[in-house]
Structure 1
Amino acid sequence: MKKEYFIGVDVGGTFTKAALVDQKGKVFSRIQVSSRGFSQKQYFARTLHDISLRLAAMAHVSFDEISAMGVGLPGPVDSEQGIILSLTNIKGWNHFHLAGFLKKYLPFPVYVDNDANCMALAESRLGAARGARFALCLTLGTGVGGALILDNDIYRGPFFLGGEIGHMPICVSGPRCECGGIGCLERYVGNQAIASRARRIFGKTVPLEEVSRLARRGHAKAQKVWQEAAACLAMSIAGIINVLGPQVVVIGGGVARAGVALLGPLRRRVRQHAMRHLKGKVRIVRAALGNDAGFLGAALLAKEKIGAR
């Protein structure tokens, strides 16, 4: 029986990461390229074709052994039709039928989804949420991505916006968000918001990596930065826990590198806000797969789509 391989692609605003994996999620080759020029759709398609050839050659795999490709993108996606609904990082891609367009350039099917959904799928199948049928996954970075695993499947909702916890309003009179809402969580716990909080508390600019290091050493001001971020994040997480009762909450993304400086106060705050019957039952953990989660999840998306045909 011919061995099947899948390509997972994690498209970012600056860099795009891709890997060739097998059916069990084992990585055989990986590559990173610049996302510059991706506003030119033909250039993007040719880049994916070139990436596929290079990944296969690096792993000494025949091109016809690749069964499908999954692509994770930083924006809402109609994953059933393969249509990008909107994308802020790459201009001109709104309401673009990416999966259909790529058929002209690649000899295998391509499946498309939101990058937070891909991260959640990877953590659910291979990472920190493995074995949990119900999970909430967050990526904390420039923005706040969110995804829900309900009964072992990604919940996308009828409008493909399920799990967008970053746009849960937590303040009735808060700042306007790019999504069009007011007081969204993202405006309080995105890395720009945390950096601004650090400037206010320290009275000067301090890199978030340094804030994390100082917090772990017991620095009171640094701990205050993460305590304030945890207080905002806990309100939303506790709300999701009370509504859906997930077994595990997985925290990933660059901000999660703060580690215990963030997770410690976050766990305490969630215990304060969550229903008492749920407090000891929901684990809050750091993501296990790091920067690999995006392309692993995209590859798993392709694998599971192929299996469902």
Structure 2
Amino acid sequence: MRIQVESRVKSLEDKTKIPYVVGSKSPTAVAINSASKAGEWIKSKLGMHQELNTKVSPQDLVTDVDKGAEMMIRKLILTHFPNHDILGEEGVAPGATASAAALSKASQSEYLWIVDPIDGTTNFVHGFPFFCVSIALAYRGEVIVGVIYDPIKDEMFVAEKGKGVYIHGNRGEVSKEANLSDSVIGVGFNPDREFGLPTNMKGINALASTTRSLRAGGSAALHLAYVAIGRLSGYYEVGLNAWDIAAGALMVAESGGIVTDTVGKPYDIGVHHVVASNGKIHAELLETIKAANATGIA
């Protein structure tokens, strides 16, 4: 496993480099290494979790594996960057208010790592093979590195600001659909039953009749990675958090796509309601969501 990870890091470092280097390791190398190691450990625990709890609703799950993976990632990052700050999903109390407070405090950091140890925990719990590790690094509030690792498919997505997005060293590009009617759009069934899910359902109902098809895999980060490499034309969901979006949003932008909030304002790490696309269908996608009163923004 060590040889495999080191080989992957070296290959991707050769293709994507940024000047934010401390010691012998770049942030990208550390993110790739952390995602690889955590992902392989998560995969080894599939069907073997020992604790299962809920957060904002009975549908919002967390396991001992989520917590263990985040602890592993934190240790790996802090070994190389002890002065950097980390915002991890499992280190924040459940609920939108707690998430907003944690992000507000963390956004003052010069270097902030944004970590979702398992994006798609419900899938992990049920053995549905669509979940990932998502790691991003923001410098003064701007995301500069994004890594998403799917341990089931062994697919590593890597982006650096200004350097493009890569999957196993191959450059990724967004899809070429020019019309919403020809597009496949990713959507989500948000676990927040009071606000997130009802709002998303309005958007889903509208998109179901205006797109070629919809896909709801259950991982925001993987959906965004798929937009970045052209597997999806776009993605829409209301009620997300920084750790769901940060790495994937950079990937979409670096592959030629567009990421905004649901009313068209440019993405930043405080966005909770997101629309990502190949760029060509973005205006039409926003218009459809707005007409359905599904932006989630008053």
TM-score for the superposition, normalised by structure 2 = 0.27
Bigger relative contact order, structure 1 or 2 (CA pairs below 8 A, ≥6 apart) = 1
Largest Rg, 1 or 2:
1
